[in-house]
Each structure stands twice: as C-alpha cells, then as structure tokens.
Amino acid sequence: MANRELVVLGTASQAPTRERNHNGYLLRWEDQGLLFDPGEGTQRQMLLAGVRASEISRICITHFHGDHCLGLPGVLQRLSLDRVAHEVTCYYPAEGQEFFWRLRHAAIFHDLATLREHPVGENAAGQDPAIEGPAGKGPAGKGPAGKGWVIGETAEFRLSAWPLSHRVPTIGYQLAEPDGRRMVPERLAALGISGPDVGRLAQQGWLDVGGQRVNVAEVSEPRLGQRFAFIMDTRMCEAVFAIAEGADLMVCEATFLDSDAALAPDYGHLTAIQAGQIAAESGVRTLVLAHFSQRYAHEDPRRFADEAGSVFGGEIVVAADLERVPVPRRR
C-alpha cells in the first residue's frame, strides 16, 4: 500500500448518479488519514474502497452544502462503533458551527469517539496563525485574497485552510511537507561515513571524521517537501492560487464543462478549463478533476480532461469513484 495516496470515495456534485457517489476523498499520508468532504454514502464507499474508520485522523469539511457533509453523521458514529481510540480533529468553516453540531448529533448513538472540533476562519474562537499566499496571482480583488490560516502543524506537515468564493462560507485546504535535505550515498561513501554515523551526522548537523569536521550540507542535497491541495466549491479567486501553489497532487472541482461556463460564476463553481488554468499557473504536477454536475452523467468523462488539458500540460486524472491516485514521486 502506497503510504501517500488519494482514495476517491465519491465524485458527484449536487445529486449522485449511477456511476458517481456524492463527494468523499481520503488522503493517506504516512500514518495520517485525512477525510475530505464526506457526502452521503461515504461510509459504504469506504468499505468498498478498503478504508477503515480507524485510519481517519482528521476530517476536513469545505462547507455545509449537503453533498459535502451529509455523510458526516455516519462516519462519526462509525468511529464510535469501531471504538477508534485516537483523537480525530474535525475542521470546518466557523460560520457553519450550528450545522456541524446538528450533523454530529443527528441520531442517537453511544458516543465513544474523541473528537476535537476545530472551527476555521475570522470568526473562530482561538485564532489560528494567519499566512499569505503568493502575491500577484489570479483575478486581483475578486473574492477573498490569498490569506489563510495554519490549522494544524506536525513534524511531518503543515495543514492550512483558505477562504474560497462560494455561495456560503467555504474553505480550501493545503497540506505541505517542510522542505528538507536528503543524504547523497556517494558523498557519504567518499568520506567513509556509514552505519550509525549517518544518523548522528543528520541529527547533530556535523560529524568529526578522521580529525576533519564534515557538515551535513556537504553530504546532502535539498529535498523539496511534497504538497497536496484540495479545492472544492468556488469561483475563480485569488485564494485558489495560494492553495494550489506547487502542489504535487491537487484535487479540484470541475463542476462544469466549457459549454456551461456562463453558469459557473453564478453557482459559485469552476469549469474544467479553469481548474486547468489554476494548475498551470501554480506549477501543479497531477491534477485530479472531481465534483461533476449530474448533467454530464451521460457524457464521456474524457471531455473534462480534454478541456483542462487545453491549458495544462501536467498529468490529469478525471476522478472515478473508488480510484486510487498516488502522490507523484518526489521531484
């Protein structure tokens, strides 16, 4: 099992189709499992996709339209049923607190799970540290600027949330691994460094070898941290570029095809071409298109890839339910 991969649980917006369940995406990232936007039926899709409730460590809700959250009651109750012992943090727009509580207490069950509620946004109690995205990208002045919050930080990654431009308060998410360094075996070998000395050198940043001090920079090279971006319901705005910047893997809504482009801003959505533009301008490597309108249920899904591909040269995946997409190998 790849230790960094996206498991697609559902890909339909608004109404499910015969082929597409409502939204749902699990990101496996080492020992973490981040569940994004569990729509209706997510619990069963998890079963079909081979995802256990105990894998979930964080739940990230973009907004409280039903296709993004009606699966939450089932998933939360399943955590209790399976007696998941670890804490699970739930992130969501602070303005939707009332909806979160309703979903959390939607039915009677023996509540054993340890949930940590983490509302996000200007109005959230206990403000998260603010961050800014790259300047000068996207339609300036349209929608929220590229400003977000760091909502979770571990030694392995930084999780941030950014306000998007939908019809209700909505946030997108970025998971970023810090840049690091990797040892170059040839350089180590040339200096005769091996075994436990390598760990010692990495830990203290230097090592004395035969009366000579070797710094870690001499035997290692920079290693770019990997990034994952998750953009759901939004119009084109500055914030999407902050989320997408340098993503190795990006899930982006592509509700409409270009033939219905006029509808996208009114409904607060993106077209496949716009998703491609965001990916192209942001240096994204693999673009996963998802959240398709049911109006295209009988269309060839490749149309989405063709339209996004007209402006984006990287890899494009038109997400299908139960598909797994590995985070691309490091650059």
Query: Considering beta carbons, is residue 62 or 226 the nearer one to Zn ion?
Result: 62
Which residues does residue 91 pair with via DSSP β-bridges, in sequence order? Answer: 60, 118
Q: Which residues is 173 bridged to in the sheet?
A: 161, 230
What are 307's two structure tokens? 């339209």
Question: Which CB atom, from 164 or from 327, has the smaller least distance to Zn ion?
Answer: 164
- Beta-sheet strand order (sheet of 249-253): 130-132, 147-153, 158-163, 171-176, 227-231, 249-253, 286-290, 315-318
User: Looking at 71-79, 93-101, 141-149, 231-239, which segment touches Zn ion (CB under 5 A)?
Assistant: 231-239
- What is the helix (H) or strand (E) element at residue 326, kind and residue range? strand 324-326
Q: Which helix (H) or strand (E) holds 282?
A: helix 272-282
**Whole-number Å distance between alpha carbons of 90 and 97:** 11
Among 40, 233, 238, 321, indicate the residue that binds Zn ion (CB under 5 A): 233
Closest CB to Zn ion among residues 69, 327: 69
When the beta carbons of 67 and 248 are compared against Zn ion, the nearer one is 67
Of the candidate residues 11, 13, 89, 282, the single one contacting Zn ion (CB under 5 A)? 13
Of 13-21, 156-164, 194-202, 274-282, the window that binds Zn ion (rule: CB under 5 A) is 13-21
Contact between 62 and Zn ion per CB under 5 A:
no
Residue 42 engages Zn ion in binding (rule: CB under 5 A): no
The answer to the question of residue 43 lying near Zn ion (CB under 5 A) is no
C-beta of 233 vs 248, nearer to Zn ion: 233
Nearer to Zn ion, 13 or 77 (CB): 13
| d(C-alpha 113, C-alpha 125), whole Å | 23
Q: Distance (Å, rounded) from C-alpha 278 to C-alpha 282? A: 6
* CA neighbor of 38 nearest in space, from 3, 84, 79, 82: 79
Burial of 171 (0-12, 13-18, 19+ CB in 10 A): buried
Q: Please, are residues 226 and 177 in contact by the beta-carbon 8 Å criterion?
A: yes
Written as one string, the DSSP assignment of 72-124 is: HHHHHHHHHHTT--SEEEEEEEGGGHHHHHHHHTSS------EEEEEEESTT-
Nearest approach in angstroms of CB 253 to Zn ion is 7
* Backbone CA torsion sign across 264, 268, 272, 278: positive
Least distance (Å) from Zn ion to the CB of residue 195? 53
Q: Does 177 bind Zn ion (CB under 5 A)?
A: no
- Rounded Cα distance, 248 and 245, in Å: 9
For residue 28, give the nearest of 62, 52, 63 by alpha carbon.
52
Catalytic annotation, pick one of 37, 67, 233, 321 = 67
* 67 counts as catalytic: yes
CB of 60 to Zn ion, least distance (A): 14
Query: Interacting stretch for Zn ion, rule CB under 5 A, among 106-114, 179-187, 233-241, 305-313?
Result: 233-241
67 contacts Zn ion (rule: CB under 5 A): yes
Q: Does residue number 37 form part of the binding site for Zn ion (CB under 5 A)?
A: no
Nearest approach, Cβ of residue 233 and Zn ion (Å): 4
Task: For the CB of residue 207, give the shortest distance to Zn ion in the complex, in Å.
Answer: 53
Of 8-16, 86-94, 116-124, 196-204, the segment contacting Zn ion by CB under 5 A is: 8-16
Stretch that binds Zn ion, among 3-11, 107-115, 230-238, 296-304 (CB under 5 A): 230-238
Q: In the complex, what is the shortest distance from the CB of residue 91 to Zn ion, in angstroms, rounded to a whole number?
A: 17
The nearer residue to Zn ion, 37 or 245, going by C-beta atoms, is 37
List active site positions: 67
Residues that bind Zn ion (CB under 5 A): 13, 67, 233
